[in-house]
Chain A
């Protein structure tokens, strides 16, 4: 088991290397650079050349990549030219909010999806099933950024119940534990925007998995042995469904992490996704690089956890 984990963790290295190489290459191919973004209309070729030299942009990209890579091995992700700060500091600062948003969206999406899927499977081909399936289909089809805008419109602009954007009240001094209610309040709308979509996908696949599981031999056997229906559903069936759904949930983690890019922009959530959008606009290559690496690593790790969870659940299912 630990050998498996170690192997998967080691595989992370070539993945990150590949991702960094691709990002670096693509960003170097895109026209425009930070020197131009900084100077704007004042960018004469002469001044550009000066600023480029000062920022180290005058070297060819493989050389810059080499310099960057050797820095990374020393734990230095370089310096952001658009924010005038070390990339590592910025990325770590923004990682927390993204983890919070993606985590709560994945949790809520999973709960909603599992509940809806199980319910639909239990009422297979009845009215409830059709209603749930319709709702789930809506969830899958609605783009989450659009949903986000509608939620802002309804709950912030019309009703005034929830804040339109941000992570805390900007005028509040609350920090640490005292900021928790603030953050929870701001978390509701962006979480819903991501969770309803992720939940739709999970719900749809849960329904199929649950129908299979409910018709399977162990469940029929359990029923025949007179085990109470509630216990069958909540313990045995749910476990099997979960085991099948874990990889899907892992993949949905990819969706919420990716979705964070635009949901964070719409809700002005101070996370990595919004940082990336701003960094790309400013052609801040090292910042893009740092942000993408962290997101890619998070994605790989979440999927590793999902695989491990499935492994664990499977064995228990087999034992049962």
Chain B
């Protein structure tokens, strides 16, 4: 069906289309159709089929759950939030390194336990209230302190990102100090995560647990309305929105003059996020021009849009890792030789290039490439080597082959194309005499099962993680003490004291180079012990109409749209 959609709508019917289609060049034809179809058409014009030139329509994958950054956990919602709110720090564009945002600067004590932030002056929330150190303390206490009067506006599922925070002190109006109960190097990158975005305390007090539907932050766009199932609309936060705007930062409140049309291009004044849950409908809307950009299209569709005129495909490799958890405690994979054989059997390039149509890149170790400072550049992904794999199997006593029980979800967050990938892996394993038996589950059921640990039930399972710090994944899923029984995600029961020590040291090291050295070593250890078969990192994609420019897809996969412009305004006039 989708192939048809693409093929048929391309080139060949262009002439026919020009004759009858309702495009900007031939608005008059619509009236002929109006007679045929009947009602209401006189008031609708062709130009209404496309968003106006000062409005950017983003096709999202789901209805947002909440626009309260401390309440939601969905990437889908984060893409809206980063345009509404700012945190103390943010990821520097194009990287995953913390850079100043609402905090101008900060100091970290030598023991790595005290963080002191100096805040920007003159910042106001969209509701007019002032941003200051009290507002920062209010936000974190709301999340962390069960006694806080607004703690009941939760639940706050990601509060554990800040569980090392022992106290928050307001030193003066623009200085705030966090004390941690232990040195915790990922603290800054956790602050850059959406759970660290700062919400207006006034809005929380006014709306209570409904603040997620009436968000007020300090970001470049302010919230306008939310029509359930249809749209969330934001508007550029302009100086005229506040009565008392004298002390506003200039970059925060752009004067409307700056939005004027400049040689046919205008800054986007209105952002509309449309939930389009059906992937085929997202493609259709993109082709029909009803949306300007769409996210998370299937690899096949992205490949087709790459070749189409009038569209641009943006990609960014994210801090994402797709891997197989191998059961290191029970069954044949408890033998490291068999685990290496499995790793040597899989052709990662075929999976990323053919199965995933280049929407992923092969990955080597537990630290995704997107953390460029921490990733070990010398480490290469396992290359397919069947003779070596067979030799290892024979050494381990499996010259006549073996059976593996392989758990696979049918979809799921970050899982890419889990069934197709599983089939490719099954094929590769078959060629070295390993018979992998796929058992597939719906995502929620799958998570419930795999997070309990593979135990005697399964030998391997697919898993994927998106993280915001190189610490997160090893800490949660590779330590001896992170087994499911102890509340962790180490479902394959890998345990190495050396790896444990490296993780612990890297957590405490406040010097980045020292941390990087520790992660390099950690990656080498894991590469040797192969508790996982690390396969790929996702390259997130975004397909946009060629009329849109100024887009940047961040490695964090967030979508900051403050600098986006669109073609189509009449030159020399205001974009409205």
Q: A153-B5, A170-B233, A171-B52 are in contact. List 4 more A-B contacts (CB 8 A).
A: A31-B448, A159-B22, A165-B285, A268-B278
B447 touches A265 (CB 8 A): no
Q: Is A14 an interface residue (CB 8 A)?
A: no
How many residue pairs bridge A and B at CB < 8 Å? 187
User: How many Å from the CB of A209 to the closest CB on chain B?
Assistant: 29
Name, among A36, A171, A188, the residue most crowded by chain B CB atoms within 10 Å (CB to CB).
A171
B281 touches A268 (CB 8 A): yes
Which residues of B lie under 8 Å from residue A158 when comparing CB positions? Answer: 8-9, 13, 17, 21
Q: Give the complex CA separation of A165 and B57 in angstroms.
A: 13
Q: Is B201 an interface residue (CB 8 A)?
A: no
Q: Is A39 an interface residue (CB 8 A)?
A: yes
A157 touches B21 (CB 8 A): no
Q: Is A185 an interface residue (CB 8 A)?
A: yes
Which residues of B lie under 8 Å from residue A275 when comparing CB positions? Answer: 229
A-contacting residues, B283-302, CB 8 Å: 284-285, 287-290
Q: Is A167 an interface residue (CB 8 A)?
A: yes
Which residues of B lie under 8 Å from residue A182 when comparing CB positions? Answer: 44
B-contacting residues, A254-269, CB 8 Å: 265-268
Could you list 21 examples of A-B contacts with CB < 8 Å? Answer: A31-B444, A31-B449, A44-B489, A47-B157, A94-B228, A152-B284, A153-B9, A156-B288, A158-B21, A160-B17, A164-B285, A165-B290, A169-B48, A170-B231, A181-B43, A185-B44, A270-B228, A274-B229, A277-B277, A278-B62, A278-B277
The chain B residue sitting closest to A267, CB to CB, is B281
- What total of chain B residues lie within 8 Å of the partner, measured CB to CB? 83
Q: Is B540 an interface residue (CB 8 A)?
A: no
The chain B residue sitting closest to A153, CB to CB, is B5
User: How many Å from the CB of B52 to the closest CB on chain A?
Assistant: 6
B448 touches A153 (CB 8 A): no
Q: Give the complex CA separation of A160 and B233 in angstroms.
A: 25
Q: Is A134 an interface residue (CB 8 A)?
A: no
A159 touches B451 (CB 8 A): no
Q: Give the complex CA separation of A60 and B277 in angstroms.
A: 32
Which residues of A lie under 8 Å from residue B256 when comparing CB positions? Answer: none
User: How many Å from the CB of B447 to the closest CB on chain A?
Assistant: 6
B15-38 vs A, CB cutoff 8 Å, 1 = contact: the mask equals 001001111000000100100010
B160 touches A84 (CB 8 A): no
Q: Is B108 an interface residue (CB 8 A)?
A: no
B13 touches A38 (CB 8 A): no
The chain B residue sitting closest to A54, CB to CB, is B155
Q: Is A142 an interface residue (CB 8 A)?
A: no
The chain A residue sitting closest to B273, CB to CB, is A170
A171 touches B41 (CB 8 A): no
B20 touches A159 (CB 8 A): yes
Q: Which of B51, B284, B466 contacts A157 (CB 8 A)?
A: B284
Q: Give the complex CA separation of A201 and B39 in angstroms.
A: 26
B interface, over-half SS: mixed
Name, among B52, B155, B414, the residue most crowded by chain A CB atoms within 10 Å (CB to CB).
B155
Q: Is B388 an interface residue (CB 8 A)?
A: no
B-contacting residues, A43-94, CB 8 Å: 43-47, 51, 54-55, 82-85, 90, 93-94
Which residues of A lie under 8 Å from residue B49 when comparing CB positions? Answer: 160, 163
Q: Give the complex CA separation of A274 and B63 in angstroms.
A: 11
The chain A residue sitting closest to B287, CB to CB, is A157
A interface, over-half SS: helix
User: How many Å from the CB of B556 to the closest CB on chain A?
Assistant: 16
Q: Give the complex CA separation of A42 and B227 in angstroms.
A: 30
B451 touches A43 (CB 8 A): yes
The chain A residue sitting closest to B452, CB to CB, is A45
A247-289 vs B, CB cutoff 8 Å, 1 = contact: the mask equals 0000000000000000001111011001101100001000000
B228 touches A170 (CB 8 A): no
The chain B residue sitting closest to A269, CB to CB, is B229
B21 touches A270 (CB 8 A): no
Q: Which of A97, A165, A171 contacts B51 (CB 8 A)?
A: A171
A-contacting residues, B208-223, CB 8 Å: 209-210, 212-213
Which residues of B lie under 8 Å from residue A43 when comparing CB positions? Answer: 447, 451
The chain B residue sitting closest to A169, CB to CB, is B48
Which residues of A lie under 8 Å from residue B288 when comparing CB positions? Answer: 156-157, 160, 163-164
User: How many Å from the CB of B291 to the closest CB on chain A?
Assistant: 8
B-contacting residues, A177-223, CB 8 Å: 180-182, 184-185, 188
Which residues of A lie under 8 Å from residue B275 when comparing CB positions? Answer: 268
Which residues of A lie under 8 Å from residue B212 when comparing CB positions? Answer: 84
Q: Give the complex CA separation of A158 and B14 in angstroms.
A: 9
Which residues of A lie under 8 Å from residue B33 when comparing CB positions? Answer: 161
Name, among A41, A94, A97, the residue most crowded by chain B CB atoms within 10 Å (CB to CB).
A41
A166 touches B277 (CB 8 A): no
User: How many Å from the CB of B151 to the closest CB on chain A?
Assistant: 11
Q: Which of A32, A55, A188 contacts B445 (CB 8 A)?
A: A32
A-contacting residues, B447-488, CB 8 Å: 447-449, 451-452, 463-466, 476, 484, 487-488
Q: Give the complex CA separation of A170 and B25 in angstroms.
A: 23
B22 touches A160 (CB 8 A): yes
The chain B residue sitting closest to A175, CB to CB, is B227
A31 touches B442 (CB 8 A): yes
Q: Give the complex CA separation of A267 and B282 in angstroms.
A: 10
Q: Is A144 an interface residue (CB 8 A)?
A: no
User: How many Å from the CB of A276 to the closest CB on chain B?
Assistant: 12
Q: Give the complex CA separation of A249 and B52 in angstroms.
A: 43
A266 touches B37 (CB 8 A): no
Q: Which of B17, B73, B209, B487 contacts A44 (CB 8 A)?
A: B487
User: How many Å from the CB of B232 to the closest CB on chain A?
Assistant: 10
The chain B residue sitting closest to A83, CB to CB, is B65
Q: Is B111 an interface residue (CB 8 A)?
A: no
Given A32-B447, A171-B272, A46-B158 contact (CB < 8 Å): no
A163 touches B22 (CB 8 A): no
Which residues of B lie under 8 Å from residue A44 when comparing CB positions? Answer: 451, 476, 487-489
Which residues of A lie under 8 Å from residue B63 when comparing CB positions? Answer: 83, 278
Which residues of A lie under 8 Å from residue B466 when comparing CB positions? Answer: 41
B445 touches A31 (CB 8 A): yes
Which residues of A lie under 8 Å from residue B21 when comparing CB positions? Answer: 158-161
Q: Give the complex CA separation of A37 and B21 in angstroms.
A: 44
Q: Which of A30, A39, A169, A277 contacts B157 (CB 8 A)?
A: A39
Q: Is B4 an interface residue (CB 8 A)?
A: yes
Q: Give the complex CA separation of A45 and B482 in angstroms.
A: 12
Q: Give the complex CA separation of A278 and B13 in angstroms.
A: 36
Q: Give the complex CA separation of A271 and B35 in angstroms.
A: 29
Which residues of B lie under 8 Å from residue A164 when comparing CB positions? Answer: 281, 284-285, 288, 290
Q: Give the complex CA separation of A31 and B447 in angstroms.
A: 10
Which residues of B lie under 8 Å from residue A309 when comparing CB positions? Answer: none
A55 touches B155 (CB 8 A): yes
Q: Is A301 an interface residue (CB 8 A)?
A: no
Q: Give the complex CA separation of A84 and B209 in angstroms.
A: 8
The chain A residue sitting closest to B16, CB to CB, is A158
Which residues of A lie under 8 Å from residue B448 when comparing CB positions? Answer: 31-32, 36
A42 touches B157 (CB 8 A): yes
Q: Is B257 an interface residue (CB 8 A)?
A: no
Which residues of B lie under 8 Å from residue A268 when comparing CB positions? Answer: 229, 274-278, 281
